[in-house]
Amino acid sequence: MQPSESYETGFDESTGKTINATATCPECDGRVVADAGERHCTDCGLIIDEYHIDHGATKRQPPESETDPSHVGAPQTKTMHDGGLTTQIGRYRDGTGQPIDGRQRRRLRRLRTQHRRARHGSKRERNLEQGLREVSRMIGALGLPESLDEQAAVIFRRAQAADLLLGRSIEGVAAASVYAACRCAGLPRAVDEVGRVARVTTERVHNAYGVLNEDLGLPTIPQTPRDFVPKFAAALDITATTRKRALDLAELAVETGVANGRQPSGVAAACLYQATHECDTTRTQAELADLADVTPVTLRTGWHDLRDVLQTAETDADDAVEGC
């Protein structure tokens, strides 16, 4: 055997890889060839490999995705009424990316209209699509994460399955689903904040949320003033020292009952107002009230009660020192 024969190679059609062309049959030492997805001996006909399965990426994928097992497009999602499996008809370009003329655009427009009408098998599906589209719109307007969009969509689907949309507007239930998702995730969002981006009044959002929470048994987390302090502090660009003091005051407000019967956002604003006074970074009451979506009178009332608690605590501490 010449030295060059040991390096002689060939192309295996079954795997698309280069193999040693001098491979021999394990039975008769005959020559092995690859043909139509199988490897067999040309002398005795022994089939060595049959129906070879390539577990790698398909040839149309780029090299960097060879380890990616997903070959089926985007995953299903609850944010679309059909799970994201619907067909989308293009508008201005064809499948190769080339622009289409006006006649084809008009034809595609007619096809899109017919396709949109055929997608909904019933009024229930049309209501579901409208509600989920409204949920996604409000999630984007509030700047909430996409994961919350999925959670709000699930709540809206549960509400429709429980026939909670009967006698209520789709927009109101959709807004209540967004607020409920925020409550379940522990995100500090007030119902008034959701009501500003909704297409219904805040009162309807609040009423719809009450029905969802009661009938669906949502695992909502009670909101406290401490939940709103980081959000307000970031909006006002307050120092870390002031924010820490406001967090301590928020806990004190809950422990002493100052927060009882009051909006958590308003109490959080009062705590921040007191903290800014103590740390010489004063903010106006109107500025904090507007941020918390409460009136300056509400903020001032909570601040007075908090200040009274602090003064009482200081007096008790002084009396304890004198008694020692």
Are both 139 and 211 inside the same structural domain? yes
Are both 234 and 305 inside the same structural domain? yes
Q: Which two tokens stand for residue 115?
A: 């396709």
Question: Would residue 208 count as lying in a domain?
Answer: yes
**Angle at 19 (CA atoms; ends 16, 25), nearest 5 degrees:** 120
Question: Would residue 70 count as lying in a domain?
Answer: no
Are both 236 and 317 inside the same structural domain? yes
pLDDT at 66 exceeding the cut of 60: no
pLDDT in tens, 241-289: 999 999 999 999 999 999 998 999 999 999 999 999 888 887 889 999 9
Are both 229 and 317 inside the same structural domain? yes
Cβ neighbours for 134, distance < 8 A, ≥ 6 positions apart: 170, 171, 174, 175, 199
Of 48-57, 117-126, 151-160, 174-183, least confident by mean pLDDT is: 48-57
pTM over 0.85: no
pLDDT in tens, 281-304: 878 899 999 988 899 999 999 999
Mark residue 309 as left, alpha or beta (left: phi above 0; alpha: psi -120 to 50; beta: remaining). Answer: alpha
Are both 233 and 291 inside the same structural domain? yes
Give me the mean pLDDT over the 42-47 stretch. 77
pLDDT at 52: 55
pLDDT bracket for residue 7 (50, 70, 90) = very low
Question: Would residue 36 count as lying in a domain?
Answer: yes
Question: Would residue 32 count as lying in a domain?
Answer: yes
Tokens 């009274």, residue located: 308
Give me the mean pLDDT over the 219-230 stretch. 88
Question: Would residue 105 count as lying in a domain?
Answer: no
Are both 231 and 318 inside the same structural domain? yes
Is 55 in contact with 67 (CB distance < 8 Å)?
no
Q: Which of 196, 216, 236 delimits the end of a domain?
A: 216
Higher-confidence residue of 263 and 30: namely 263
Domain count, the chain: 3
Give me the mean pLDDT over the 52-71 stretch. 52
- For residue 281, give the CATH number of its domain: 1.10.472.10
Q: Which of 216, 239, 267 delimits the end of a domain?
A: 216
- Rounded to the nearest 10 degrees, the angle between the axes of helix 264-278 and helix 296-323 is 60
Are both 306 and 235 inside the same structural domain? yes
pLDDT at 9 exceeding the cut of 50: no
Are both 200 and 178 inside the same structural domain? yes
3-class SS of residue 9: strand
Question: Would residue 77 count as lying in a domain?
Answer: no
Are both 192 and 130 inside the same structural domain? yes
Q: What is the 3-state secondary structure (H, E, C) of 57-104?
A: CCCCCCHHHCCCCCCCCCCCCCCCCCCCCCCCCCCCECCCCCECCHHH
Could you tell me the residue range of the domain that residue 268 belongs to? 225-323
CA distance 170 to 150: 17
pLDDT at 77: 73
Question: Would residue 59 count as lying in a domain?
Answer: no
Is 14 in contact with 38 (CB distance < 8 Å)?
yes
Are both 245 and 202 inside the same structural domain? no
Question: Would residue 65 count as lying in a domain?
Answer: no
Give me the mean pLDDT over the 31-36 stretch. 70
pLDDT at 103 exceeding the cut of 60: yes
Higher-confidence residue of 19 and 99: namely 99
Q: Which residues pair with 158 in a beta bridge?
A: none
Q: In angstroms, what CA-CA distances link 183 with 210, 213, 221, 222, 319?
A: 12, 10, 6, 8, 43
Are both 206 and 278 inside the same structural domain? no
Q: Which two tokens stand for residue 136?
A: 């996604």
pLDDT at 53 exceeding the cut of 60: no
Helical ranges in the chain per DSSP H: 102-118, 123-142, 146-161, 170-185, 191-197, 202-216, 225-236, 240-256, 264-278, 285-292, 296-323
Q: Which of 183, 216, 249 delimits the end of a domain?
A: 216
Mark residue 74 as left, alpha or beta (left: phi above 0; alpha: psi -120 to 50; beta: remaining). Answer: beta
3-class SS of residue 219: coil
Q: In angstroms, what CA-CA distances link 48 with 9, 10, 29, 55, 56?
A: 18, 17, 12, 19, 21
Are both 208 and 138 inside the same structural domain? yes
